[in-house]
Structure 1
């Protein structure tokens, strides 16, 4: 299993998925393991949410949101180290994906450079904040996985009430940790040496006055429709009594045995209905949705989760008794230790959703209380440790000063300190809020 994960992570894209399937074939046909249930529910949620987000992107909604964020970031340039991560966090919570940060990172870097603030500071913590936004979003694939795993034991509102404030506290701690990280640009020998090049200095401080294309007429409308869909999902998850109920019957992908509708089905229905409204009202061509970058990224995520989660679930199910016997007592005596396992698997899988779906069921088997599992949810954000995640590489690329970097020893990179601080403080704060909530 570890070999498949490591090889798949190096392949990137759909690599995790196809290598997971290869390992699963070995499990079934050679080791004769009984295959577990594939993660169909999470895959369908990802397809629904990503399709709607891509429809909003095709309508110009993403561009409108990025321009709104740019105005916020440029309004307080001296506070970019604080404003940058808060903006990326909020936008990820709303959109359910960290891919929106690709358009924000160059703005953060430019604003910091103009104020001669070391860009490494806001860029590093902004990337980590975007990742934390995934585990605090009501429509992210990771949150959907938590709802399906703990269905009936927690509501969506429980996740939001714990993870949103806990993540904000973790982000603020990360901002404090990087506030004086590295030398200021006017005291950095490497930067001062670059500034001796007249062309570099002129380009660095040049006013970027490139003419932007006009937003489509339906850009703001698409954001409004998407936002209304998010609000409806939050209401449905927080107040299940609002949903229709039916006579008890056999459970399936959309219905529980007691006749209630599963939250996963609600997310899929509301999101795709919102996509239909955007297509009709904003007059978006369906081919433009299929070509959107978010749709491509979502398709890769579905394949990756399909293979690696099905493989991991089969392995866990076949070895459930041995794992429970080895780890059960420790997890029940000190539940926080399970957060370490979540973090380590997050490092390998490069996916919050895949980590959640693969390992959170083990937490249930080990008897860890649902409030504690929710508190540890931010620990799945371990994808910054190995500097190969796209958002990390993008931040390094957009920093023209070179302050944001990968260290000589690979792990001593710009994102390690804010990442460890943000995630650990978020988990600690999560236990605090979970204790107050339950």
Structure 2
């Protein structure tokens, strides 16, 4: 019976991921209906905390976008990337990582991809090299950013939930992921044929219009940045700092009368980080709108805000279905994994990696798998070291960041192979995550 239920779970995830958009969420609900009404499973807890964090954080990022702040960040990133084009294989991924780490979203990447591709092509560096690692870097930035839903869910109640959990995640995952990105850059440094030797590129260069467009550019043009852009970035920065401080020094937060634990309050009367994040970020949104005199309606019209609805529906459906399956089969699953995970904690990363590849959501994978890791008896340092494994959404080349990188590479070097999974992002992605997890275990042994 467990096998049949698992097949249904995987089938719903695979069908939903192929549907794109809210497909993962609605197919998750189909699976939940089957589990509850046909298998008589007791419904698990829906991921309300993650949904609230996604709504709050993405709304704030969308406000930053509406105020011109994201354009300003992209402008700064572009200057860094263009500063030393011959080193773009290293400069681009690290620039992408730090900017996405700050913003808590990989959406900054879309604006940077054409710049990375253009700069690489002009220097006749195979664009596949910096593009592939930059995509992976944008994903790894999520596991360590205090402004990402995945990190907030991991640090919050229900998983780690101890004072200073956010800081522990940052001080382990950020350096570990940076090491992973560095090794990944070295691995792709000579990946594929040099651009001037690539038959696909040489064929394209026979077209005079293509050749002329490739060597022309707008790097000399001054980008128009709105008046409130810098102010919105400052406000957003203050919000990030406040969340980090709240995670590092929970004693600074107000405390209330002790009682039963809830989504907002701990049993000892302290505020949950979910509440802190929501209050701080949405207050920052209000400050940005008021001080930059940006219309609140404009926020609802930007791309980030619409992506928030997709993320919320997807997480709601797939995590609720997965939580129901995990809760109902907890004894069997723990019994199956207990012995091997106890002896070799790193093997749990494989399970996280596989589910992450199917779910296409770091937050959903975190909410589904990390409580299981705790139930299996994994220590906090081990769970934090394994955290980067949730970034395996690059395995099946349907994630938007991968498709965007392929489309922006006009030379044709970034591509999906004949066997689908042998695409440009597979090697740098696996290398970066494996190295980040190994480095995480090592770093955690010193700093935790």
TM-score by length of 1: 0.98
Question: Is the CA contact 2:77–2:95 (under 8 Å) kept in the aligned structure 1?
Answer: yes
| Residue 99 of structure 1: aligned partner | 107
- C-alpha displacement at 1:228, in angstroms? 0.6
1:41 is aligned to 2:49: yes
- Separation in 1 of the partners of 2:297 and 2:328? 43
1:121 maps onto 2:129 in alignment: yes
Query: Cα RMSD over matched residues?
Result: 1.2
Q: List aligned pairs for 1:26-425, cutoff 5 A.
A: 26-148=34-156, 149-152=159-162, 155-208=165-218, 214-425=224-435
**Whole-Å separation in 2 of the counterparts to 1:152 and 1:123:** 37
Aligned equivalent of 1:5: 13
Q: Distance in 1 between matches of 2:198 and 2:33?
A: 54
Q: 2:164·2:247 contact (CA, 8 Å) conserved in 1? A: no
CA distance, structure 2, for counterparts of residue 318 and residue 209 of structure 1:
57
8 Å CA contact 1:154–1:370 kept in 2: the answer is no
Q: Distance in 1 between matches of 2:401 and 2:342?
A: 36
Deviation at 1:3, TM superposition (A): 0.9
Q: Tell me: CA distance 1:103–1:251, structure 2 relative to 1, closer, same or farther (3 Å).
A: same
Secondary structure at the residue paired with 2:413? coil
> Using the alignment, how far apart are the partners of 2:17 and 2:231 within structure 1?
38
Unaligned runs of 5+ in 1: none
Runs of 4+ in 1 over 3 A off after TM superposition: 209-213
Q: 1:107 aligns to what SS in structure 2?
A: helix
Name the CA distance, whole Å, in 2 between partners of 1:390 and 1:265: 30
Whole-angstrom distance in 1 between the partners of 2:193 and 2:11: 40
Paired residue secondary structure (2:45): coil
**Residues 361-394 of structure 1, C-alpha deviations (whole Å, 9 max, x = no match):** 1101111111100000001111111111100000
Quick check: 1:153–1:370 contact (8 Å CA) kept in 2?
no
Tell me, in whole angstroms, the C-alpha distance in 2 between the residues paired with 1:267 and 1:189. 51
The CA deviation at 1:208 is 2.7
What per-residue deviation string (whole Å, max 9, x for no partner) do you get for residues 319-364 of structure 1? 1111111111111111100000000001100111110001111101
Q: 1:75 to 1:6 in 2, by over 3 A?
A: same
Which moves more between the two structures, 248-257 or 200-209?
A: 200-209
Contact 2:163 2:248 in 1 (8 A): no
2:163 and 2:247 in contact (8 A); partners too = no
Q: 1:165 to 1:112 in 2, by over 3 A?
A: same
1:210–1:437 distance in 2 versus 1, CA, 3 Å: closer
Return the offset for 1:211.
6.1
- Distance (whole Å) between structure 1 residues aligned to residue 230 and residue 356 of structure 2: 35
Determine the C-alpha separation between the residues in 2 that align with 1:406 and 1:210. 33
For structure 2, the 5+ residue unaligned runs are: 1-8
1:431 aligns with 2:441: yes
- Range 143-152 or range 369-378, more displaced: 143-152
Kept in 2, the 8 Å contact 1:125–1:418? The answer is yes
